[in-house]
Amino acid sequence: MQITVLAGGVGGARFLLGLRAHARSLPEHPHLTAIVNTGDDAWLAGLRITPDLDSIMYALAGVNDTGRGWGRVGETERVSAELNAWGVGWPWFTLGDLDLGAHIARTSWLREGLPLTEAVRRLTARWELGVELLPATDDEFETHVLVDSDVIEGGELHFQEWWVRFRATVEARGFVQQGTATAAPGVADAIATADLVLLAPSNPVVSIGSILAVPGVHEALATTSAPIVGVSPIINGAVVRGMADACLRAIGVETDAAAVALHYGARAAGGLLDGWLVDESDTAALPALESAGIRARALPLFLRDETLGAAVAAAAIELAQS
Ligand code: GDP
Ligand code: CA
């Protein structure tokens, strides 16, 4: 069995930990592939950084900082302090020393001419992750945020600057991808040959939305024979952590589990979803989802630990097979 997941960083990582735990409990381990958002990627201090791929890699490898919620455990910031003294990089964007190791390795492979997919394969080969990670694209296809030009000169900024520096407090008017891209090798295939496609409870706009913006991904989803089931990142009208509500507001979607599902759309009506899992606090949304043509179930979606995550993964598989 092949299960392919579309995922952003932290929400994606939490879900994949649960899915991996569930997969390992099955008699025939399904093969897991995650197609990961690269819209957050950037060049910084001469290095290519890929935050969502790294969040997932570190979490699956068990070397992530669970207290802080991002980066490597046991991290130090000596190099970052030196870079700041020289005015190199973004002073508001921490590059931890261990993290810089990954950035240097990645950048050196990219400089040798290897595609990002191969750099990711080499980085992840260090651990037994149990999930194959594929960048959505090998091309630089960075997410920019459109804002009012009287607030930010030029009316546009890199997603990282909007998110990390301004904590999404500058009102966003929309999101665009810079440049042109094609889906990375293996991405369309991982969707076409899947027995099940899952949307992780990731940011619907700048994580899942940025993956869907890569030419070829939407088409592959529209034509796969696999059922597509999503997990709501919105619980009881609020984001679980982060500022995805600021992204949803910018594209005119309510911060609501059903509204996000309807934004993705029912497959029967030309959208993406066959099924959608909502939190038990959103049970009232079930009839509207069902009448829109999306099979829906309610269960606890706060991914507190791997056991809960595994139950969510099991429910997604069960909904797809029902
Ligand atoms: P990012 O790239 O690090 O911002 O992470 P993602 O895009 O993968 O995920 C961000 C989303 O994950 C946010 O909108 C959160 O609401 C959602 N999220 C985080 N933790 C949980 C959780 O425990 N349960 C659910 N259902 N959603 C979560
Ligand atoms: Ca992200």
- Ligand 1 centre to CA of 270 (Å) is 26
56 lines ligand 1 (CB under 6 A): no
- 245 in ligand 1 pocket by Cβ < 6 Å? no
The model's confidence at residue 315, banded by pLDDT at 50, 70 and 90, is: very high
Q: Does the C-beta of 168 come closer than 6 Å to ligand 1?
A: no
107: confidence class by pLDDT, cuts 50, 70, 90: very high
When pLDDT is averaged across residues 261-268 and rounded to a whole number, the result is: 97
pLDDT at residue number 33: 99
What one-letter code names the amino acid at 55? S
The residue contributing the CA closest to ligand 1 atom 25 is 233
- Scanning the structure block, which residue is given the tokens 């899942």? 208
Residue 69 pLDDT: 87
Tens of pLDDT, residue by residue over 48-104, are: 999 999 999 999 999 999 998 889 999 999 999 999 999 999 999 989 999 999 999
pTM: 0.98
The amino acid at residue 193 is T
Amino acid occupying residue 243: M
| Average pLDDT for the chain | 97
What order do you get walking across the sheet with 156-158 strand by strand?
A: 156-158, 143-146, 174-177
Q: Which atom from ligand 1 is nearest to the alpha carbon of 240?
A: 16
Q: Is 8 in the pocket of ligand 1 (CB under 6 A)?
A: yes
- Whose atoms come closest to the Cα of 302: which ligand? 1
Closest ligand 1 atom to 239 CA: 16
The arithmetic mean of pLDDT across residues 226-240, rounded, is 97
- Rounded Cα distance, 19 and 89, in Å: 36
For 157-213, the pLDDT digits (tens) are 999 999 999 999 999 999 999 999 999 999 999 999 999 999 999 999 999 999 999
> What is residue 241's predicted lDDT score, i.e. its pLDDT?
87
What are the C-alpha distances in Å from 25 to residues 18, 30, 112, 307? 11, 10, 40, 11
What pLDDT does 88 receive? 97
State the pLDDT at residue 192.
Answer: 98
- Judged against a pLDDT cut of 90, whether residue 18 lies above it is answered with yes
Contact 230, 276 (CB under 8 A): yes
